[in-house]
Structure 1
Amino acid sequence: MSKSTQENLLYLSSTFSKLLKRRFGKGPETCTMMSKGNRLYIYIRNFITPAEEVLLKNNQLILVHNFRSAVINAVINEFKPEVSKVFGGKIDHFFHDWNYDSNTGIILLENVPSTDEVKMEEDFEKTLFNLIDFVGTRYHKRPVGLKVVKFTQNICAIEAREVLLQLESLAYEQGNLDLLLHQAREIKSGYLKNKSLFEDLFNRVIEDIFIVWDYEKNRNYLIFVFFK
C-alpha cells in the first residue's frame, strides 16, 4: 500500500470515528480502514453504548439492531461524500454486521460494477471453498458461486452469490426483517462453532467472523478477521 493510500485511510478512519461519536455520543475504541478495488472495509472495536447494553441485557436484540441500523445509515450517508472525495467514484451500496458478544463490527462500502478478485493458490482456494461448502450447507443454501475478493494478513473476504432460499427471498420482499435477522444470526453462529476448522486451514487465529447480507442482489460476504 502506498503512503498516500495509507494516509487516506487514516484520514477516513478519523473522520468516521468523529461521525460515530457525534451520532452515538461515543466513538469506537479503534476504527480500522482497509481497501481493495471498489470496496472499503471498516472494522470497529468497542462501540456499544450504555443504552444498547441495557437492551442487550434484556434480550432486546431487534431493538438494538433497528436503533444501530438507523444511526449507521445516517452516519454512512454523511461519510460517503468523504470516501468519494478521497478515492473517487460513487458509493452505491453499504452493508454492516455486528458481533455484540465481542463488541465488534464490520461495515462494507462498495460501488458497482465490480471485477475484484484475489489471485490465490489454486489448491488452497479449492480447499477453502470446499470447507465453506462443508460448513455452510449445514445452515444455509449452497451458493451458486464463490469468489475471494480480499485476502491479506488481516482479513479474508469471500463473496457468495445466489445464497437465499425462496422463503428468505419472500421474507425480504414482504419486509420481514426480523425473520431474516434471526436466520442470519443462526448462520453466523454455525460458522463460529466451526471456527477452528478455518483457523487450521488459514494457519491463523481468527478474531472475528462476520457475514454481511445483500438481500436485494441475493448475495453475501463471509469475512474473517485475523489477530495481528
Structure 2
Amino acid sequence: MHIKSNQENLVYLSSTFSKLLKRRFGKGPETCTVIFKGDRYYVYMRNFITPAEEVLIKQEKLELAIHFRSSIINAVTEEYLPEVSKVLGISFDYFFHDWNYDKNTGIFLLDNSQSDHKENIDYSFESNLFALIENVGSSYYKKPESLKIVKFTQNICAVESKEVLLPLERLVYEKGNVELLLHQAYEIKKGYWRNKGQFEGLFNRLIEDMFIMWDYKNNRNYLVFIFNKLYTMK
C-alpha cells in the first residue's frame, strides 16, 4: 500500500478545497497554495472572484460581497474541516479568512487553539518587526499586549497579536454590529498597505500581498505577509 508523503497530502487537500469552492460558488480559484506548519494550516488563493461578486463590487457593495463569500466559506469549512483533520491527524478549533478584492486574492487559516508553535527568529529582527507593526497599527487600533511570529518562510510571514480590541470594539462585536467591524478592518488593512515600503525594507523582500484575519471572540488577529519571489535591492 502506498503511504502518502506530506507533500502529496497537501496537494490532495489543496485540490479538495478548490473543488469544494467550485461546487459552492460555481467557480473555484485559479491557484490554491497550501502551507502547513506548527498546527496552523494556510491556503492562499488567486483569482477567486465570481461573476456575482464582480457585480456587487462594481456597484460598490463590498460589504454585501464579503457577507456573500463569508456565508459560503462557512458552509465549505464545515465540509472541509473533517477531511483536513483526518488527513493531517490534527483537530482544528478555529478558522479565519480574508480577501483582497482589488487584487483578487484570498487567504484561509485553520488554527489549533492548543498550538504554542513559535518561529525561532533573530531577536533584533523580531523586535524591529514588532515595533513597526505597533507603530503602523497605533493609528488604527489598540496596542497589542503580545505579538508572536507563528510562521516565517521565504514565502510567508504570519504574526499573531493578542488583546487588540478596545472596550467599545468588544461591545460592538457583542452587539453583533459586524458591518462596522468590517469597515474598520478594511481601513486598518489599507493603513498597512500604505506602509508596505517600510515592511519591505525590514524584510528585504518584495511584499506581494497582505491580509489581516480577526478573531473578535478571542480578542486577537493574524497579520500575514505574502512575499514575492524577488528580493529588494539594498
Shorter-chain TM band: over 0.9
Aligned mates of 1:147, 1:136 — CA distance in 2: 15
Give a deviation string over 1:101-153, Cα, whole Å, max 9, x none: 00000111012211010010111111111111111111111000000000000
How far is the alpha carbon of 1:81 from its aligned partner? 1.1
Aligned mates of 2:73, 2:177 — CA distance in 1: 20
What SS is found at the alignment partner of 2:27?
Answer: coil
What SS is found at the alignment partner of 2:182?
Answer: helix
Partner of 1:32: 33
Partner of 2:89: 88
Aligned mates of 2:95, 2:140 — CA distance in 1: 24
Paired amino acid for 1:88 = G
Aligned mates of 2:218, 2:193 — CA distance in 1: 25
Partner of 2:165: 164
Partner of 2:129: 128
* Within-5 A mapping of 1:203-214: 203-214=204-215
Paired amino acid for 2:167 = Q
Q: Which runs of 5+ in 2 are unaligned?
A: 230-234
Taking structure 1 as the reference length, the TM-score comes to: 0.97
Partner of 1:14: 15
Asked if 1:99 is matched to 2:100, the reply is yes
* Within-5 A mapping of 1:32-51: 32-51=33-52
Asked if 1:52 is matched to 2:46, the reply is no
Aligned mates of 1:215, 1:83 — CA distance in 2: 24
- Over aligned residues, Cα RMSD in angstroms? 0.9
Partner of 1:147: 148
Taking structure 2 as the reference length, the TM-score comes to: 0.95
What SS is found at the alignment partner of 1:23?
Answer: helix
Aligned mates of 1:69, 1:42 — CA distance in 2: 15
What SS is found at the alignment partner of 1:216?
Answer: coil
Aligned mates of 1:124, 1:89 — CA distance in 2: 31
Structure 1 stretches of 4+ with a deviation exceeding 4 A read none
How far is the alpha carbon of 1:166 from its aligned partner? 1.2
How far is the alpha carbon of 1:89 from its aligned partner? 2.5
How far is the alpha carbon of 1:60 from its aligned partner? 0.8
Aligned mates of 1:67, 1:130 — CA distance in 2: 36
What SS is found at the alignment partner of 1:205?
Answer: strand
What SS is found at the alignment partner of 2:5?
Answer: helix
Give a deviation string over 1:46-87, Cα, whole Å, max 9, x none: 000011000001111111111100100111111001111111
Partner of 2:222: 221
How far is the alpha carbon of 1:36 from its aligned partner? 1.3
Paired amino acid for 1:75 = V
Q: Larger deviation: 82-91 or 22-31?
A: 82-91
Aligned mates of 1:200, 1:175 — CA distance in 2: 39
Aligned mates of 1:161, 1:114 — CA distance in 2: 14
Paired amino acid for 1:98 = W
- Number of aligned residues: 226
How far is the alpha carbon of 1:8 from its aligned partner? 1.0
